[in-house]
Structure 1
C-alpha cells in the first residue's frame, strides 16, 4: 500500500494542473474573492452616491422649503428641457420615455391642508424596476423632514412643547439591548459563507487527482499492470485513497492557513474597526478546530471521488460524473445558509451541513464542543462506510473493466 502511495504521489507532484488546484488556488482564492467583492461593492456604492438624477416637480411652490431641499440635494438635478408637466400622467410618460428619472407631484399646500385637519398626499413617479430604488427613499426622507417641521410648528402653536410632542407622538420608546458581541453579529452575517468557500476547495483537492488515479489509469492502460503486481486489490485501492486524502488534506491545510493569514493581514492593514473587533478574537485554536472538522470531510470526498473515477471508462467520463458530485456538495452547504437552520443534536448528524454549521458557530465564537464531537464522530463513521464501499467497488471485475 505504501509503495502505491509513493508512486501515485510522485505522479501527482509532476502534474502542474493538479498542483495549481491543490496549492495555488487555495492560497489565492480568499484574497481574490474578497478583493473582488470589496471592489465591486465599493464601486457600486460610489457610483450610486455620485450619480445625479433628473427630476421635475409640479406645484413646488406649495412647499417651497421642501422644493429647495430637493433642488440643492447632491443626487438630484432639476429638469431644464423644453417639455412642461402638469399632471401625474405626463410625469409618468416622461419617466417611461427617459426624459426624466423622477417626477414629484404636490396636489395642494401641505401647510393649509394641515390647518384644515387633512393629510396632503404627494406622489413620486419613478421606475422601481431599475437600480435607482433609493430615489423614493431620499424624497420620502426630505418630505418627512418638512412634514415633521410643519407638525412641530403646529403643535407649538397649540402650546404643546417639543418634549411633550415627543411623548405624545411616541409614547413608548423601545430600546434594543443586544446580548451578542460584535464577533457573533458579524459571524452570523458572514460565517455561513466561509464554509461555502472552504468545503468546495477540499472537494477540489480530491476530485482532480482522483480522475487521473482511476479513469486516467484505465485510459493509459496501466491499471492492468498495477493489478498484476504482488499486492492485493484492497492494498491498491487503499494506496490510491491515501494519496487522494493527502492531496485533500494538503488543500485543507493550505486553505485554513490562507484564511488565517489573510484575516490577519486584513486586521493589520484594513481600517475597518468592526472587522478588527470581530476577527481579532479568532484564535489559532479556532482555526485548528476548523481544520480538524474538515479532515473527515476530506476522507468522504476522497472515497466518493475515487469510487466515481474507478467506475468511469475514460478521463472525460469521470469529469462528467464529478459535476453532479460538486452540485451535491453545494446543496447541503446552502441548507446551512438558510435562516433558522442552527447547529443542534439533530443537524449534527447531517453530512456536510453539520460541518458547515459548526464552522459558522466557530466564526461566531458560540460553538458547542459537545456537538463538535458528535459531528466529528458522525463524519468519521460516514467516511469509514464510504471507504469500505470504495474497496468493495474496486474488487468488482464488472466495475473495473466496463
Structure 2
C-alpha cells in the first residue's frame, strides 16, 4: 500500500498542472480575490459617489430653500432642455427615456400645509434598479433638513425654546448597547464566506490526482499492469486514496496558511483597521482548528472522487462526472449562508454545512467545542463509509473493466 502511495506521489510531483492547483492556486487565490473584491467595490462606490445626476423639479417655487439646496449640490444639475413635465407619469417617461435621472414633485406649499396641520407628500421619480446609487438618500436628506427648519420655525412661534423642541420631537431616545465585540460582529458577516473559498479548494486539490489515478490509469492502459503486481486490490486502492488525500490535505494546509498570512499582512495596513480589529484575536489555535475541520471533508471527497474516477472509462468522462459534484459541494455551503442558520446539534450532522458553520463560529470567536466534537464524529463515520464503499467499488470487475 505504501509502495503504491510513494509511486503515485512521485508521479504526482512531476505533474505541473496538479502542483499549480494544489500549491500555487491556494497561495494566490486569497490575495487576488480579496484585492479584486475590495477594488471593484471601492471603484463602484467611488463612481456612484462622484456621479452627477440631471434633475427636474415640479413646483420648485413652493419650496425655494430646498430648491436652492438641490441646485447647488455637487451631485445634481438642473435639466436644461425645453420640455416641461408636470406629472409623475411624465417624469417617469422622462427618466425611462434618459432625458433626466431624477424627478421631484412638490404638490403643495409645505409651509402652508404645516400651518394647516397637513403632511406634505413629495415624490421622487428615479430608476432604483442600479446596483449603487445615492439619489434618493441625498434628496431625502435635503428634504428632511428643510422639514426640520420649517418645524423649528413653527415650534418657535408657539413659544418653545430649542431644548423643549428636542424633548417634544424625541421624548424617548433609545440607545443600543451591543454585547457582541468587533470580532463577533465582523465574523458574522465575513466568516460565512471563508468556507465558500476554503472547501472548494479542498475539492480542487483532490480532483486532478483522482482523475489521473483512476480514469487516467484506464485511459493509458497502466491499470492492468498495476493489477498484476503482487499486492491486493485493497492495498492498491488504499495507496491511491492516500495519494489523493495527501494532495487534498496539502491544498487544505496551504490554503489555511495562506489565509492566515494574507490576513496578517492586510491587518498591518492602517487603512484596514476593521480587518485588524476583527482578526487580531484569531489565534494560531483557531487556524489549526479550521484546518482540522477540513481534514474529514478531504477524506470524504477523496474517497468519493476516487470511486467516481475508477468508474469512468476515460479522463474526459471523469471530468463530466465531477462537474455536477463540484456544483453539489456548493449547495451545503450556501445552506450555511442562509439567515438564522446556526451551529446546533442538528446542523452539526449535516455534511459540509456543519464545517462551514463551525468555521464561521471560529472566526466569530463563539464556537462551541462540543458541537465541533460532534462534527468530527459524524464526519469520521461518513468518511469511513465512503472509503469502505470506494474499496468495495474497486474490487468489482464490472467497474474496473466496463
> Is TM-score (shorter-chain normalized) higher than 0.5?
yes
Secondary structure (helix, strand or coil) at the match of 2:281 reads: coil
Question: Residues of 2 paired with 1:311 and 1:139: CA distance?
Answer: 63
Corresponding residue number in structure 2 for 1:268: 268
Corresponding residue number in structure 2 for 1:239: 239
Question: Residues of 2 paired with 1:90 and 1:243: CA distance?
Answer: 69
Corresponding residue number in structure 2 for 1:374: 374
Secondary structure (helix, strand or coil) at the match of 2:313 reads: coil
Question: Residues of 2 paired with 1:358 and 1:128: CA distance?
Answer: 37
Deviation track 1:15-53 (CA, whole Å, cap 9, x = no partner) reads: 111111101110011001111100110000000000000
Question: Displacement, 1:153?
Answer: 1.2
Deviation track 1:287-306 (CA, whole Å, cap 9, x = no partner) reads: 01111111111111100000
Q: Which moved more, 1:118-127 or 1:38-47?
A: 118-127
Question: Residues of 1 paired with 2:318 and 2:102: CA distance?
Answer: 55
Question: Displacement, 1:326?
Answer: 1.0
Corresponding residue number in structure 2 for 1:103: 103
Report if aligned partners of 2:60, 2:106 keep a CA contact under 8 Å in 1.
yes
Secondary structure (helix, strand or coil) at the match of 1:108 reads: coil
Question: Displacement, 1:128?
Answer: 2.6
Report if aligned partners of 2:48, 2:133 keep a CA contact under 8 Å in 1.
no
Question: Displacement, 1:132?
Answer: 6.1
Question: Residues of 1 paired with 2:74 and 2:14: CA distance?
Answer: 59
Corresponding residue number in structure 1 for 2:153: 153
Report if aligned partners of 2:44, 2:132 keep a CA contact under 8 Å in 1.
no
In the comparison of the two structures, how many residue pairs are matched?
Answer: 402
Secondary structure (helix, strand or coil) at the match of 2:119 reads: coil
Question: Residues of 2 paired with 1:128 and 1:279: CA distance?
Answer: 35
Corresponding residue number in structure 2 for 1:176: 176
Question: Displacement, 1:133?
Answer: 4.9
Question: Residues of 2 paired with 1:355 and 1:130: CA distance?
Answer: 36
RMSD: 1.3
Question: Residues of 1 paired with 2:62 and 2:362: CA distance?
Answer: 58
Corresponding residue number in structure 2 for 1:123: 123
Question: Residues of 2 paired with 1:225 and 1:97: CA distance?
Answer: 72
Secondary structure (helix, strand or coil) at the match of 2:295 reads: helix
Question: Residues of 1 paired with 2:271 and 2:123: CA distance?
Answer: 42
Secondary structure (helix, strand or coil) at the match of 2:128 reads: coil
Secondary structure (helix, strand or coil) at the match of 2:261 reads: helix
Question: Residues of 2 paired with 1:391 and 1:93: CA distance?
Answer: 68
Secondary structure (helix, strand or coil) at the match of 2:63 reads: helix
User: Structure 1 residue 278 and structure 2 residue 278: aligned?
Assistant: yes
Q: Which moved more, 1:246-255 or 1:168-177?
A: 168-177
Report if aligned partners of 2:351, 2:379 keep a CA contact under 8 Å in 1.
yes
For structure 1, list consecutive stretches of 5 or more residues without a partner in the other structure: none
Question: Displacement, 1:172?
Answer: 2.2
Question: Residues of 1 paired with 2:324 and 2:59: CA distance?
Answer: 61
Corresponding residue number in structure 1 for 2:398: 398
Question: Residues of 2 paired with 1:141 and 1:197: CA distance?
Answer: 39
Q: Which moved more, 1:347-356 or 1:157-166?
A: 157-166
Question: Displacement, 1:232?
Answer: 0.2
Question: Residues of 2 paired with 1:254 and 1:132: CA distance?
Answer: 36
Corresponding residue number in structure 2 for 1:356: 356
For structure 2, list consecutive stretches of 5 or more residues without a partner in the other structure: none
- Stretches (4+) displaced over 6 A: none
Question: Residues of 1 paired with 2:334 and 2:130: CA distance?
Answer: 28
What is the TM-score normalised by the length of structure 1? 0.97
Question: Displacement, 1:229?
Answer: 0.3
User: Structure 1 residue 83 and structure 2 residue 83: aligned?
Assistant: yes
Mapping of residues 204-223 of structure 1, within 5 Å: 204-223=204-223
User: Structure 1 residue 50 and structure 2 residue 57: aligned?
Assistant: no
What is the TM-score normalised by the length of structure 2? 0.97
Corresponding residue number in structure 1 for 2:188: 188
Question: Residues of 2 paired with 1:133 and 1:278: CA distance?
Answer: 28
Secondary structure (helix, strand or coil) at the match of 1:71 reads: helix
User: Structure 1 residue 41 and structure 2 residue 41: aligned?
Assistant: yes
Report if aligned partners of 2:5, 2:239 keep a CA contact under 8 Å in 1.
yes
Question: Displacement, 1:90?
Answer: 3.2
Deviation track 1:303-331 (CA, whole Å, cap 9, x = no partner) reads: 00000000111110100111121122111
Corresponding residue number in structure 1 for 2:166: 166
Question: Displacement, 1:256?
Answer: 0.5
